[in-house]
Amino acid sequence: MSTIRKIAVLTSGGDAPGMNAAIRAVVRGAIFNNLAVMGVMRGYQGLIQNDLVEMNSKSVSNIIQQGGTILKSARSKDFLTPEGRQTAFDNLQKNNIDALVVIGGDGTFTGARIFAQEFNYPIVGIPGTIDNDIFGTDYTIGYDTALNTVVEAVDKIRDTASAHSRLFFIEVMGRDAGFLALRGGIASGAEAVLVPEIDTDYERLDSFLRNSYKKEKSSSIVLVAEGEKMGGAIKIAEEISKKHPDYDVRVSILGHIQRGGSPSAFDRVVASRMGVSAIEALLDDQKSVMIGMVNNEIVYVPFNKALKNKKPLNPKSLELIDILSI
């Protein structure tokens, strides 16, 4: 029998569509298993400031379709200090909370891992980030919605690019990872994709554009991940424009639009499965693990493993761009 009677849930780091669906699943999964639940406002910062609210089934009504996070999010500097973490622990004790579910990305799990070790405290993580850059899970909550936002935006830009025969460099989010750019590029039929994982071969890009945009195509779209090593879409567009003043070049940076909006059905289902699985993991005495999804099955991934490894891009997907952009 598990000794856990009361848990708390928080969202931390960059918000992602589907976080609310995950909160709902954690809260209802807990109640289903006769656990009391509290919500922590503004991630670890709220824990330090003892900003917690009681949650019941009704507190999570009507949120599955909402973007953002009803618990709000933050990147807490105080939680990086031992004093901050001690205060957070004291507040958990004060509120009789036996375990924590944290929803976020690698920054969130790094904090969770340290905290769990320092206080021997049970924490289970749920991967929520549009970047999809967490090792040990095929998907992170929010990625699918953001991907669809990217594709919708690129489709629209394609209309105007084509009307004016322009070359567009479109920058997408992803921090140090190219998942959004790569999949977004495949799905929107981009002519080229530049990702942080592979050093940009400027000469190759230049000659490709000379042969495609210049010679044959009415428009071209290059998707650039924000972490691309040459400096991103603006920098590359500058270089290309300098070399080819005759090209009609434009840059579009999609920005935070990628983080908002109603979550896709896929994200809602993944979030719901992961949320309930997080409660089951805690009741199964799991500690310091992230809930992952691999081949459509739920897996437990130790924080150490999720944080130590870099998730690779699928080489087949990279190859697809080359094959399909001829």
Task: Write out the residues near ligand F6P by the rule CB under 6 A.
Answer: 14, 105, 129-131, 173-175, 226, 259
Catalytic-role residue among 15, 131, 133, 267: 131
**Least CB distance to ligand F6P at residue 32 (A):** 31
- The answer to whether the beta carbons of residues 140 and 127 sit under 8 Å apart is yes
What gap in Å lies between CA 228 and CA 298, rounded to an integer?
32
- What amino acid is encoded at 319 in this protein? E
**Least CB distance to ligand F6P at residue 77 (A):** 13
What gap in Å lies between CA 88 and CA 121, rounded to an integer?
12
Please identify, using beta-carbon distances, which residue of 14 and 275 lies nearer to ligand F6P. 14
Which candidate, 211, 261, 200, places its Cα nearest to that of 236? 200
- 179-188 helix and 315-324 helix, angle to the nearest 10 degrees: 30
| Vertex 150 angle, CA 158 and 307, to 5° | 145
Please identify, using beta-carbon distances, which residue of 37 and 180 lies nearer to ligand F6P. 180
Burial group, residue 34, by CB count within 10 angstroms (0-12, 13-18, 19+): exposed
What gap in Å lies between CA 110 and CA 134, rounded to an integer?
12
Please identify, using beta-carbon distances, which residue of 105 and 178 lies nearer to ligand F6P. 105
Please identify, using beta-carbon distances, which residue of 20 and 220 lies nearer to ligand F6P. 20
**Least CB distance to ligand F6P at residue 129 (A):** 5
Please identify, using beta-carbon distances, which residue of 132 and 277 lies nearer to ligand F6P. 132
Does the active-site annotation cover 131? yes
H-state helical runs in the chain: 19-32, 43-48, 82-94, 106-119, 143-164, 179-188, 202-209, 233-243, 265-283, 303-308, 315-324
**Least CB distance to ligand F6P at residue 22 (A):** 16
Q: Which residues are catalytic?
A: 131
